[in-house]
Structure 1
Amino acid sequence: MAIAHDYLTQRGGAERVVLAMHRAFPDATIYTTLYDPDGTFPEFRSARIVTSALNRFAVLRRHHRAALPLLATAASALSVPADVVIASTSGWAHGFATEGKVLVYCHSPARWLYLAEQYLGRAARRSVQRAALAALKPHLVRWDRRAAWGARRYLANSTVVRDRIARVYGVEADILHPPHSVDVTGRRDPMCELEDFVGDGGHFLIVSRLLPYKNVDRAIEAFRGLDERLLVVGTGPLARALQAARPSNVRLAGLVTDAQMRWAYASAKALIAPSHEDFGITPLEAGAWGKPTIALHAGGYLDTIAEGVTGTFIERPTSEAIREAVLAFREEDWDALAIREHVHRFSEERFRERLCAEVDAMARRRTG
C-alpha cells in the first residue's frame, strides 16, 4: 500500500494527518507533487517520499500556489504502484495515477474551485489570482471530478466536508475525524525574542496559516487597544502585511518547532479560531492542554467543540465579535479536566484503528 498527499511544503493540520497515517503504516511510501523538507514537519525526513517532476524546481517547492496551472498534469503523471492507496487530499492526490484501489481521505474538495472567493479573500472578485483561476476552472473542475469518481471509497474529515463532497461530487462519504497528535509531556522551548512578551503566560493564541479566509487580520484588529496580549503562530502570504499592521500587544511568531508550540499552548489563556475551517484541529491541540477556544460557529468547529465545555462560539468572524468574546472571557469558567476528556475522543489511537480497518476491508475486497 501507499500514501498520497497533495504537497508537503508547509506545516498544517493536513500534514499532521499524513504523519499519523504514516505512523499507522510506517512501511508505506508517501507520494506527493512537491516536497520541501525545510518547509514542512521534520518527521517526514524519515519516510520514503516520491515526488512529481515539478519538484525539480525550487521556486515551486517554496511557493506551491505558483504551480497551480501545472498541478493537474503533474498529478496525473505521478504513478503510484500499490494495491491500495490512501489519498490524503484537498485537491490533487486523488488524481495520482494508480491501478490500485483508492481510499480518499478528503480534507475538502478543492477550495480554490468550489469556494474561490472565501479562499482568495475579500478582493477575490477583482484580483489577478481570481482572473487566472476563472480561466483554468473549467479544465480543473473536469479533471477533479474524473479523479473523484475513480476512487473506491471516500472518507470525510468532518460533517461539513461530508456534505460538501455530496454536493460537489454526488458521492456519499463516511466521517473519520482527524486525530490530534499533541504530546503534552514533551520538551517546551521558549520562542526567541518572545519570552518577555509571553512572560508567565495568560496570552490568547492563534495557530494558523496566514491566508485571507483564516481571518487572522480581523483577530489582530480586535486586540487593538485591549489590555490583553495575542500571540500568532504561523506563516503565509499575509505575514508581511499583518506584521506591519499589528498593534503593540500582538506578536507574530512565524514558523516554530513542536517544542516551542508546546510552550505557546501550555502558557496560553485560550485559543482563538476565527477561520472558515473544514475540520480545524487547533481546538483539539489547545484542548489537550486543557485550554478552551473562542471559535467561529461554522465548519469543522461544529464537530470538535462542545459549546460551554471546550469553547464558546462567535457568529461572525468580525473584529467586533472577536473583541466582545475576548472581553467576556473568564478563565475560571472553564474546567481543564473536562476539556481534556472531550479531546480524548479524537485520539490518534482511535484514528489509527479505524483507518487500518478501512484499509483491511479494501484489501479483502480486492482478493476476495
Structure 2
Amino acid sequence: MTRPRVAIAHDYLTQRGGAERVVVALLRAFPEAEVHTLLYDADATFPEFRQARVVTSPLNRIGALRGHHRMALPLLAPAASRMRVDADVTVISTSGWAHGFDVRGRSIVYCHNPARWLYQGADYLGEHPRAAVALALKALSPALRRWDRQAMARHDTYLVNSTVVRGRVRSTYGIDAPVLFPPSVVSVEGDQVPVGPFAPGFHLVVSRLLPYKNVDHAVEAFAALPDERLLVIGHGPEEERLRARMPANVAIVSNVTDSQLRWAYRHCVALLAPAIEDFGLTPLEVGAFGKPTLALRGGGYLDSVEDGVSGLFFDSAGAADIAEAVGRSRATDWDAGAIVRHGEGFGEARFASTITAAVDRLMHVPADR
C-alpha cells in the first residue's frame, strides 16, 4: 500500500520552545514530510529542521520579522491564508496561524492553545504591555477572531495537548477534541556541556522570557533566598528588564544547546515552573533526569506534574509562594526513580503512534467538505 504524502504545518520556527519540539517529533514520525511555516530562522530554532525541507511565506524574506514576529501582526493572517500546502494529509501544529493555511487534502489540527493574543490578551501582554502591540491588538482583534474561527472550523480532525486546552478549544470554537499529550523529546543520553556560572545544586527555570511566564516573580523570590541559586535558561522581550533587577544569586543564559540543557537538568535541584502553561513540557524533561518540578497549580501542569511524586504545587505565582515552595522541596525526600517512571507515560513513541493512526484513519474516511 502506498503511504500517503504527509506535510507538517506550524506557525513559525523562530525559537526553541515546546511547540517546536512537537514539530521535531512530527518530523521523526514523518521524516519525508515538508514543513510549512510563516517564518523560519535556522539559527534560532532546533537544528533538526536543517535536515528537513522547510517552505516559508514571502514574509520570511524580511529578516527583522524572523527575530520579531510580533512586528508582523497585521500581515500574518493574510500571509497564512496564502500558504498553500499540497499533500494527502497535513498535520497542523498551531497556536494561532497554521490552521489558516490553504491546505489541499485532509487535515489534522494539533492545537497547543487558541491564539493567546486574541482570547487571553491580558496574559499575553502581561503587566507591562507595549503600547504599539496593545493598540494593534485592539484594532485588529475583531477581524482576526472571525478569521481564526473560520480557519479552525474547516479541518477534519482535532487534537489538543492538555485538559485545560481542551476546555479552551471547546469554549472558543465549539470543538470537543481528544487530548494527546505532547512528547518529551530531550534525551538523557548524549553529551553534557556545563552552562551558566553556578556549580551543581541550583534551581532552574527553562522558559521564554515573556510577561505571562512569571519569571520576574521567581527572580524576586530568590532575592529573598540568598543561600539559594537560580539559573534561568531562556530569551525573549523581558530579558533586559530581568537582567536589570536580578540579584547576584540569579543568572540568565540564552540560546543553549540540548547538550547544555541536559547538563542543567542533570545538575539542578529542582525545576521552577511559575507560569500558567498550556501544557508545559519542561517538568517531563527534567523528570527524565529524576528531578522534581515546583509548579504553579493550574494549566497544563495539572496533567504533567503528579503532586508529591514528580513535584509539588504552589497556589499563586507570587514571590512569597515560590520561596515557600523552595523550602518545602528542600525538606522533601524525592524518589528519583518514581519521578522517572511518572514521565515514561508521556513518551514519544505513544505520541507518534497516535498521530500516525489518525493519518491512516483519515485516508480511509470519505471527505465531506
- TM-superposed CA distance for 1:367, in Å, is 8.2
2:70 and 2:137 map into 1 onto residues whose CA distance is 11
Q: Secondary structure at the match of 1:271?
A: strand
- TM-superposed CA distance for 1:83, in Å, is 1.6
In structure 1, the partner of 2:224 is 225
Is the counterpart of residue 160 in structure 1 residue 164 in structure 2? Answer: yes
In structure 2, the partner of 1:346 is 346
2:234 and 2:112 map into 1 onto residues whose CA distance is 19
Asked if 1 retains the 8 angstrom alpha-carbon contact of 2:312 and 2:329, the reply is: no
- TM-superposed CA distance for 1:100, in Å, is 1.2
Is the counterpart of residue 209 in structure 1 residue 208 in structure 2? Answer: yes
Asked if 2 retains the 8 angstrom alpha-carbon contact of 1:94 and 1:102, the reply is: no
1:149 and 1:291 map into 2 onto residues whose CA distance is 41
In structure 2, the partner of 1:181 is 185
1:163 and 1:332 map into 2 onto residues whose CA distance is 33
Give the residue type in structure 2 aligned to 1:175: V
2:366 and 2:349 map into 1 onto residues whose CA distance is 26
Q: Which runs of 5+ in 1 are unaligned?
A: none
RMSD: 1.3
1:332 and 1:302 map into 2 onto residues whose CA distance is 20
1:123 and 1:237 map into 2 onto residues whose CA distance is 11
Give the residue type in structure 1 aligned to 2:271: L
1:308 and 1:117 map into 2 onto residues whose CA distance is 31
TM-score by length of 2: 0.96
- TM-superposed CA distance for 1:172, in Å, is 1.2
Of 161-170 and 323-332, deviating more is: 323-332
- TM-superposed CA distance for 1:155, in Å, is 0.2
Alpha-carbon displacement from aligned partner over 1:21-74 (angstroms, at most 9, x marks no partner): 000000010000000001111110000010011011000011111111100000
- TM-superposed CA distance for 1:331, in Å, is 6.4
2:232 and 2:331 map into 1 onto residues whose CA distance is 20
In structure 2, the partner of 1:290 is 290
Give the residue type in structure 1 aligned to 2:348: E
2:131 and 2:68 map into 1 onto residues whose CA distance is 18
Q: Secondary structure at the match of 2:138?
A: helix
Is the counterpart of residue 109 in structure 1 residue 108 in structure 2? Answer: no
Asked if 2 retains the 8 angstrom alpha-carbon contact of 1:104 and 1:153, the reply is: yes
In structure 2, the partner of 1:314 is 314
Q: Which runs of 5+ in 2 are unaligned?
A: 1-5
Asked if 2 retains the 8 angstrom alpha-carbon contact of 1:17 and 1:179, the reply is: yes
Q: Secondary structure at the match of 2:363?
A: helix
Alpha-carbon displacement from aligned partner over 1:123-157 (angstroms, at most 9, x marks no partner): 44x83322210100011001000001011111000
- TM-superposed CA distance for 1:185, in Å, is 1.5
TM-score by length of 1: 0.96
In structure 2, the partner of 1:97 is 102
Q: 1:298-337 alignment to 2 at 5 Å?
A: 298-330=298-330, 333-337=333-337
Q: 1:367 to 1:121 in 2, by over 3 A?
A: closer
Alpha-carbon displacement from aligned partner over 1:214-250 (angstroms, at most 9, x marks no partner): 0000000100031100000000001111111100000
Alignment length (residue pairs): 362
Q: Secondary structure at the match of 1:86?
A: strand
- TM-superposed CA distance for 1:366, in Å, is 4.2
In structure 1, the partner of 2:3 is none
1:9 and 1:82 map into 2 onto residues whose CA distance is 24
- TM-superposed CA distance for 1:307, in Å, is 0.4
Asked if 1 retains the 8 angstrom alpha-carbon contact of 2:186 and 2:258, the reply is: no
Of 328-337 and 105-114, deviating more is: 328-337
Asked if 2 retains the 8 angstrom alpha-carbon contact of 1:234 and 1:255, the reply is: yes
Asked if 2 retains the 8 angstrom alpha-carbon contact of 1:283 and 1:304, the reply is: yes
- Identical columns (%): 56
2:126 and 2:89 map into 1 onto residues whose CA distance is 37
In structure 1, the partner of 2:145 is 141
- TM-superposed CA distance for 1:183, in Å, is 1.1
Asked if 2 retains the 8 angstrom alpha-carbon contact of 1:310 and 1:339, the reply is: yes
Shift >6 Å, 4+ stretches: none
Q: Secondary structure at the match of 1:221?
A: helix
Picking from 71, 78, 97, the partner of 2:83 is 78
Asked if 2 retains the 8 angstrom alpha-carbon contact of 1:103 and 1:152, the reply is: yes
2:274 and 2:335 map into 1 onto residues whose CA distance is 22
Q: Secondary structure at the match of 1:329?
A: helix
1:359 and 1:123 map into 2 onto residues whose CA distance is 42
1:80 and 1:331 map into 2 onto residues whose CA distance is 53
